Structure 1
Amino acid sequence: MSAAEPFLSRRPWHELPPALAPRLRTRLPELTTEMVQAIRREVRDYRQPFGSAVARDVAEAVRLAATQFTELVEEPDAPQHHYVPRFRRLGRLEYLSGRGMDGLQAAYRIGARVACRRYVDVARDAALSGEIAVPLSEAVLTHIHAMAGESVTGFEEARAGAADDVLRSRRLLVARLLQRRRDPLAEPLPDLARRAAWPLPERVRCVLLPASVKVPGLDADILRVTRDDELHLVVPDERLLTAFQDTGAAVGPAVPLEEAWISLHCARLARRLGRTSAQDHLAELHLLHGSPIGSLLADQVLEPLRDLPPGKAGRLTETLDALLASTGRTAPEVAAALGIHPQTARNRLRQLTALYGDRLDDPAFRFDAQLALRSRSTGHSSLL
């Protein structure tokens, strides 16, 4: 329905008995609850926690629609234009939330389906004519069509009137790129990028900075968003990374565009390690990502050292690490790696042999031990 057409130009409510109105009004809480549940169940966009802004908007929209429908049954010729701004607001909210109209249109259809069935049930419970089903369903569909038309008008007005649409689109775009789970009902990425005036690159890097850090001269092609006192940036060109030199920024690895969230995740882990380039420390980041399991493995490998004095346990741990990293597994190699006398290395190796026995020759144990010690270097074992 265009904005020029009168709201509810067709009025099939004349064919309905006004006595139905009080029956509907009595059942509205029950009926609207059922509609809201159906919409939340079937429209992913609206599966938000109860009490959230989206959940409140859905419940209010359903209540508004059911209330107006009841008024129309009671007084078919009563003015209804005061409802127009409220239905247009629903369309504006969809636009401002970064969604298209598909979700709202689906919600209208689901609400109409439930309303047709349940309103007929109410009429039959009231012993009204069995022939009421057809005109009642027609009235519901006419009402839904009018509401949807006004919401579309509100959506289009919001889009046309958004003077800062490029900036808004860029905020939505960076949020979309950094989402791990993609919304199938969201606006197609190429369309959003086009509105954001941002050519889609094949690969990007993400950069993480404290929000308090000011980086002068950032290129306009760098997308940015502030979240929880952090500045998240999506960088489409390697050459633009020079802006972050000497800023302490954590830079994620280059990834395909659809995996931008992984680059941000790596940047965050790198920052926890005190690194600036995640690309150069991917093995450490991988171990850190599984740090609880890595800690368990380290505790298991270092179990024989548990009862030793901390200083001695620490020396034997570094000796075990040097032994595993050596090629010939000889005392001179270990001594050279640790900067100690060969005889000291021999003494420590004898102690390790006494503690670990044949496990030092077991390839599986050696692999576990190397992994555990590397994990331990990125975090902390509870033993040592």
Structure 2
Amino acid sequence: MEIALQNEILDRMARPDALEVAAEATARIRQEIPPLRRVRSLDGLVERLVRHLLDALVDPECTGDDILALARDTGVRTAARGQHSGELLAAVRLIAGTIVVRLTEYLDQQDVCVGAGTVGKIAQAVYAAADRVAEAAVTGYVRSRSYASDGPEGRRRRLLSLLLSDSPRRSELEVAARSAGWQLPRRVAVVALRHGAPVQGRLRFPPEALIGLQMERRCLVIPEPDAPGRRHRYETALRGRPAVIGPTVEVTDAATSRRWAARTLELLHGDRAVADGDWPVRAVDMLPRLMTSWSADLVDLAADERLAPLVATRPSLREELEATLLALQECHFKADRAAARLHVHPQTVRYRLRKLEGLFGPGLYEPGNQLELHLLLYARCSRRRARRRDRIEAR
């Protein structure tokens, strides 16, 4: 009988007998592989692997991403304990062998005629799934061991690469950080540095920073950026240099902070929106600009529609009214504060506000319109300032 015809029987067997198979495999591991006797949660690890291998036998398409991640973590911990990867491989093969023996016995007990070819296919399927698990465990082991084989600088570079990879496991980071002599923080922020900006020798960072000036996309990692005084120290070190501080994230999500920092830096570099003396900037402070940059053409079309009442005014007055309305929104419609921001007399702001009220009517103060108007005005005024700066520099 082919495996496909036995799936129903194997599926029934896989559920009630998994605990028995796991208990037998665990006992054999403790007896035959002494270094693994003291592994914490050995019983739970073996049980999960047994269930996965039985599931994979019934459903060959079962990927078992969770069990592969667990295997990688186990490989990392094995390396951290100074044990050999061969012990892990032996344990996985032992578990697979136990499953094959128990399955064959079960089919015999059910009076199912099992030929040598069928037993061979069962064993092949189980060992194929076990090999995938073993490969994941070795990957975790080798990655962890590679940190220990480098010098201090090499270990820090490897740690930084792992930290900035997509969804690294915390257990991997802990081993890499310990090897690199870096205290793994709970939260980090990644700084993106413009390529070609001043590099090592002219930049002075606190010792807790992970520095990636040698990377294709230059960056550095700030541990616990919200600790007292820490952000200020980094802003002082980077003052005047094109750099964006990404949002604060969990240490396992550093790639997200780096992505937003890099995207913000690229955007600001493209439209020359930040004066040299205003660097570094924080990505979260650039949220309106980031939002309006995603669909610049749609922003222009929406602005033409939402700001249509201004079309009838002369161009110079239109620019003044747009800048004034933006300042009023950001100052909660307080004329004195808006005037200080615009460097004009408060009475001038009040005059322009009356003009705006006449053009837009009650809709000017409608809460539902405020966010959209603010984003559109922010986009227009920012581009206008950038164009003016370009013209001045071109003279």
TM-score w.r.t. structure 2 length? 0.48
Q: Which has the higher contact order (CA 8 A, sep 6+)?
A: 1
TM-score w.r.t. structure 1 length? 0.50
Which structure has the greater CA radius of gyration? Answer: 1
Task: Point out the structure with the larger helix share.
Answer: 2
